[in-house]
Amino acid sequence: MAAVPVNRFSSNNRVFMRVTHLRALAALLVIGACSRAAPTATPTPQPQRPNAATPQRPAGAEAGEEAAAPGGRGAGGGQGEARPRPYGQVVTAEAQTRDGLFKTHRIGSRLLFEIPENQLNKDILVVMEIAQNTASGSGYGGQSAGTRLLRFEKRDNRILLRSISYAEQAEAGTPEAEAVAAANVHPIIAAFNVESYGPNNSPVIDVTRIFTQPITELGPGTRIPGNIDAARTWIERATPFPDNVNVYSTLTFVRQGNAPQGGQGGGPGGPGGGQQNTAPTNTIVFSWSFHKLPEVAMKPRLCDDRVGYFSVRYTDFTDRGDRVRERCFITRYRLEPKDPVAYARGELVEPVKPIVYYLDRATPKQWIPYLIEAIESWQVAFEAAGFKNAIFGKVAPNDPDWSPEDARYSVARWLPSTTENASGPHVNDPRSGEILNAHIQFYQNVANLQNAWYFTQAAALDPRARQFPLPDSLMGKLLGYVMAHEVGHTLGFQHNMKASSAYPVDSLRSVSFLRQWGHTPTLMDYSRFNYVAQPEDNIPPDLLIPGIGPYDKWATKWGYSYLPNMTPEQERKVLDEWAREQDTKPYLRFSTQGSAGSDPGELTEAVGDQDAVKATTYGIRNIKRSVAYLIPATVKDGENYDDLGTLYGRLVGQWRTELNHVANIVGGADTRELYGGQKGNRFTPVSRERQKQAVQFLNENAFKTPSFFLVDEITRKIEPAGSIARVVQTQNGILNSLLNNQRLIRMSEYEGDSKYGVLEMMRDVRTGVFEELRTRAEIDVYRRSLQRAYVEALRTKLNPPQASANANPFGGGPQGRLNRATPPQLDPKLSDINAAARADLKALANEIMQALPGRSGMTRAHLEDLQHRIEEALKKKEETPRVTT
C-alpha cells in the first residue's frame, strides 16, 4: 500500500499541497461567457412515452364536471375550439398584474399566465416543494416534491405543455440525432386554449386548474392520501421574477371511498418521514417555481468513478462503431473566474457568481453564527480550485417577496420535526449537470442525534459531553458539522466511506497529526467523532470533530477547476493525471464502484477502519469509561429516567457498531477504484491472518458477556427485565453478520487466495461461543441465549424460509448501468453454505455429547435442548419450492 501522510506522534507532518501550475487549463463550467471554445450544442432530448395525466377530480365531482370548473378550460383536454378574445376582455381592469419571466394576472380566484413569445419552446425547470404541511407522516414544510423539465409550445390557438426528457440523446447534427428525435415524442401533460394575445403577441392562458387540481406530473403524488376538495382549495399567490415564477396553492385532501391508505413512504428525512398518514383531512401549501434555464448550457465535465460526484446520465446513441454507450456528467455549480488571466497565473481569483446559502429566518438565532461558519468552511476547498470568496452563508432577507421556495436561491430550511436527520438535495440542469440551487433540510431533532453520537463517542474525552443539555458552544459546533456535511452534498459530493481507512490508527491519537490532517480525510464520510483517541492523549476537543479534509480539497479542485478552451473529452487527460494522485496518496481515494459491502475499509460510522481491530480496541475502552457517565449526564431531580434509558441503549448500539466493523474483515476484500494504466487489482482478498485475528477479537469482545454494561444502578432504573434481550440481540446481530450468506460465498471463492475457508471460520467462532464445553464451566443465562442463537443461525441455513417460486437458482443479479458488467449472484443452495453448516452442527453435537457427563441443573437442560435442536435441524428435509406459471 502506498505511504500514508504520517505515523503517530510524528511532528514533521507533510502538508497537503495544492497544485497550481495546471490552473491555466481550468474552466469546464462555462462554455459561453469566458471560454473561447465554441458553445456546446444543445443535446437532442429523448422524448418519453406518453403518460396518463388525468387531474384529480374534486371530492364528490361527477364525470364531466372538470371541464366546466372555473379556470379549467384547456387543462384537461376535450374542450371546444379555442376562440381568443380581445386582450381587454380577458385581462380586465380587475386583474392584479405582475411582470416577470411570465406575466401573471390574478382575476378573482383565477390565475392567467401571459407567456412571451421568446419563452415558447424553451426548457423550463419546475421545482416543486411542500411549503407548509399539516399532514402527519406526509412530509415536512420545505421538502422537495420533485422537479420536472417542461416546455410551452404553441399549436394554432392552443398552448401545449410538454414534459421534456434528456435521458436519450445523440450528438447534434448527426443522423443518429435525427433517429432519436424521429423515434420519440415528448408527452403532452396539459393543453390550454389561448384566451387572448398580449401586445407582443404573447399568448394568455388560464392555468388555474393545474394549481388547484394538479395533474400527476405536477402534484404531490400519492404522499397525501385522498381527493382534493375544491371548496377548500385555492391559489394563494403568484410571484413572478425576471428568471422565475413562483406559485403557491392551498390544497385540501379528503379521504373517502377507495382513497390511498397512506402517504408515500420514506425513511427519516424522506417524504414520508417513516410514518403512515391516517388523517381523514389534510391541508398543505404546495409551491411551484418555474425556473428559466441558462441560455447557454454550462460545459459539462465527464464523470470519473475515482472521484465522488453526483451525476446526470443519459444513453448516447451516437454511432462510434462499437455499441450504445452511457454518458455521464458530474453535478456542480458554475464557477468562472472574474480575471481568467490572473487565474491562469496561479493567483486566487473571485468567481463571477459566488455560491450563496441563505439560512431560513426561522433558524434559532443562537445557531446562526455556527451554521454560517460551517457553510463558509468550504472556502478552503475552493481555494484548492483557484477561487477565493467562492461560498458564503447569509441570513434570508426580511423581504415579503423573498421566498425560500424561490428556485433562484439555495436555502437551508429549519424544520420543526422530531426526525433525527438532515439532508442536502440539489437541483441541476439536466443538459449539463450545472447545479442551479439547493435546499438543505435541517430537521430540528438532529440535535438529539448529535447529543447521542457525541456522548457515545467522546464522553471519555470531553467533559462537556457528560452533562445534558450540552453547552451552546458545543452544540453549535455539532450542528455546524451537520451543516457542513450537507453543504458538501449540495456542492455535488457523494459520501466517501473509503478515505478514512487510509490513516494509521495510532496517528489518530496524535495532536500534531490531527491538527494537520484530521481523523478522516473527508467530511463526506460517515466518520463522526474520534472515538479512537484516549484520555491520556490529551486531544483538544475541537480536534474530535471532523472538518474539511485533504480529499475534500482535492475533489473540489478536480471538479471545480477552470479549464478553458477544452472540450469535455480534451479535459480528460488533465483530470486523469489528477485522479492518479491516488496512486501515492491513499487518503485521496473514493469508494470503489461495485464493492457490494465487501471492503472492510469502506465502513460507515467508522474511525480508523484501516485496522478495525485496533480501532475497536480503543473504542471499547472509551465505551467502558462512558458507562460511568450515563447517570450524571441524564438523571435530574424531579424528572423520569427516559433519557437514561435512551442513552444507555445508544451506548450499547455504539458497542455493536464498532464490533460489526471487525466482523466485516472476515470474508472481506481490500478494494481500490482503478482505471486502465494503473497497476494492481481492484479487489484483493483480506489475508488469512487478519481474518483469524478478527474472529478471535470477536470471541473475546463480542461473544463474551459484556459485564461492564450490566450495572444494576442503571438497568433497574430503566426496566424490570431486558438486559438479556439487549445483550443477546446485539450478539446475535454480530453473529448473523459473520454468517451472512454473501460473506460465506465470498469466503468460499477467496479460499484459494486467503487460505481461510468457511469451515475453519465456523469452527473458530464455535470454539469461542461454546468455550464452556472445553473448560467445563457453568454456562450462564447470557451465554445460553447466545449459544441457542448460534444453533438457530445454522439451522436457518439448512432450512431457510421458502424461496420465491420464480427464484433463479443460478443467480444473475440486478441490472447494472448500461455497459457495466453486473456479477452474477450464486444461489446459497449451490454454494458451500449448507455443507459447512451441516458439518459444523455435527461437530457441535459431538462436542456436546462429550461435555454432558457430570453436568446438572440448567446447564445440562440447556445442552440437551441444543442436542434436540441440532437433531431437528439435521433431519428436516428442505422443501422444494413449487414452480408456478
pLDDT in tens, 803-850: 543 444 444 444 456 666 677 788 888 889 999 999 999 999 999 999
- Confidence at residue 297, expressed as pLDDT on a 0 to 100 scale: 93
Within 35-187, strands assigned E span 96-98, 103-107, 110-114, 123-133, 143-155, 158-163, 168-169
CA dihedral in degrees (52, 53, 57, 58; nearest 10)? 150
60: left (phi over 0), alpha (psi -120 to 50) or beta: left
3-class secondary-structure state, position 281: strand
* Amino acid code (one letter) for 764: D
List the single range of 1-10, 83-92, 302-311, 711-720 with lowest mean pLDDT. Answer: 1-10
DSSP alpha helices (H): ranges in 472-598?
472-490, 511-517, 550-560, 568-579
3-state DSSP call for residue 489? helix
**Residue boundaries of the structural domains of the chain:** 66-292, 642-799+829-875
3-state SS, residue 494: coil
Local structure of residue 709 (DSSP, 8 states): G
Which residues of 293-386 form beta strands (DSSP E)? 311-316, 325-330, 355-359
pLDDT at position 606:
97
Return the pLDDT at 31.
27
Answer whether 395's CB lies under 8 Å from 416's CB: no
Q: Hey, what's the torsion of the CAs at 466, 468, 472, 478, to 10 degrees?
A: 70
For residue 20, name the pLDDT band (cuts at 50, 70, 90). very low
Q: Residues 297-340: pLDDT tens digits?
A: 999 999 999 999 999 999 999 988 888 989 999 999 999 999 99
Q: What is the pLDDT of residue 141?
A: 66
Would you call 297 helix, strand, or coil by DSSP?
coil
pLDDT at residue 60 in the model? 35
Distance CA(619)–CA(79), nearest Å, equals 70
Helix axes 368-376 and 472-490, enclosed angle (nearest 10):
40
Residue 821: what pLDDT? 65
Residue 363 per-residue DSSP state: S
Please determine, for residue 257, whether its predicted confidence score (pLDDT) is greater than 80: no
pLDDT at 55 over 70: no
Cα 313 from Cα 327, distance rounded (Å): 6
Rounded CA-CA distance 259/825 in Å is 40
CA separation for the pair 373, 482 (Å, rounded) = 12
pLDDT of the residue at 754: 81
Q: What is the pLDDT of residue 679?
A: 94
Q: How many residues does the chain have?
A: 885
CA atoms of 825 and 817, how far apart (whole Å): 17
Q: What is the 3-state secondary structure (H, E, C) of 379-390?
A: HHHHHHCCECCC
631 CB-contact burial (10 Å; exposed 0-12 / middle 13-18 / buried 19+): middle
Q: What is the DSSP letter of 1?
A: -
- DSSP-derived letter for residue 440 is E
Output the pLDDT for position 656: 97
pLDDT at 13: 36
- For residue 40, name the pLDDT band (cuts at 50, 70, 90): very low
pLDDT score for 817: 67
Q: Buried b vs exposed e over 204-237: b needs ≥16 C-beta within 10 Å?
A: bbbbbbbbbbbbebbbbbebbbbbbbbeebebee
SS3 call for 87: helix
- The Cα–Cα gap between 288 and 129 comes to 7
Residue from 509, 125, 492 nearest 290 by CA: 125
DSSP letter string over 520-546?
SS-TTSS--S--S--GGG---GGGGS-
pLDDT at position 137, please? 54
pLDDT, average across residues 548-576 = 97
User: At 224, is the pLDDT very low, low, confident or very high (cuts 50, 70, 90)?
Assistant: confident
Q: CB of 644 within 8 A of CB of 568? A: no
Report the distance separating Cα 99 and Cα 103, nearest Å. Answer: 4
What is the pLDDT, as a whole number, of residue 277? 52
**What percent of the chain stands above pLDDT 90?**
73
User: Considering the entire predicted model, what is its pTM?
Assistant: 0.85
**Mean pLDDT throughout 218-232?**
89
**pLDDT(264) > 60:** no
pLDDT of 830 reads 87
User: How far is residue 754's CA from residue 693's CA, in Å, rounded to a whole number?
Assistant: 13
Q: pLDDT at position 320, please?
A: 87
pLDDT of the residue at 502? 95
Mean pLDDT value across residues 362-369: 97
CB atoms within 10 A of CB 96: 12
Amino acid, single-letter form, for residue 192 = F
Mean pLDDT for 479-497 is 97
Question: Taking each helix axis from N to C terminus, what angle separates 781-798 and 857-875, rounded to the nearest 10 degrees?
Answer: 10
Q: Tell me the β-bridge partners of 562.
A: 27
Cα angle 206-211-217, degrees, rounded to a multiple of 5:
110
The torsion defined by the Cα of 747, 753, 759 and 765, in degrees rounded to 10, comes to: -70
Question: How many Cα atoms sit within 13 Å of 191 on the Cβ side?
Answer: 15
Quote the cell numbers at residue 566.
Answer: 477544452
pLDDT of residue 280: 85
Residue 20 and residue 578 in contact, taking contact as beta carbons nearer than 8 Å: no
For residue 413, give the 3-state DSSP assignment: strand
What pLDDT is stored for residue 808 in this prediction?
44
The dihedral of CA 164, 167, 172, 178: what is its sign? Answer: negative
Instruction: Please state, rounded to an integer, the average pLDDT across all residues of the chain.
Output: 86
Residue showing cell 439487549 = 726
Over 70: is that where the pLDDT of 657 sits?
A: yes
Residues 530 and 544: beta-carbon distance below 8 Å: yes
Residue 292 has pLDDT above 70, yes or no: yes
Nearest to 747 by CA among 830, 829, 669, 843: 669
Q: Taking residues 533-549, what's their average pLDDT?
A: 98
How high is the pLDDT of residue 263?
32
Residues 6+ apart with CB under 8 A from 497: 525, 526, 591, 602, 603, 604, 606
What integer pLDDT is reported at residue 136 of this predicted model? 56
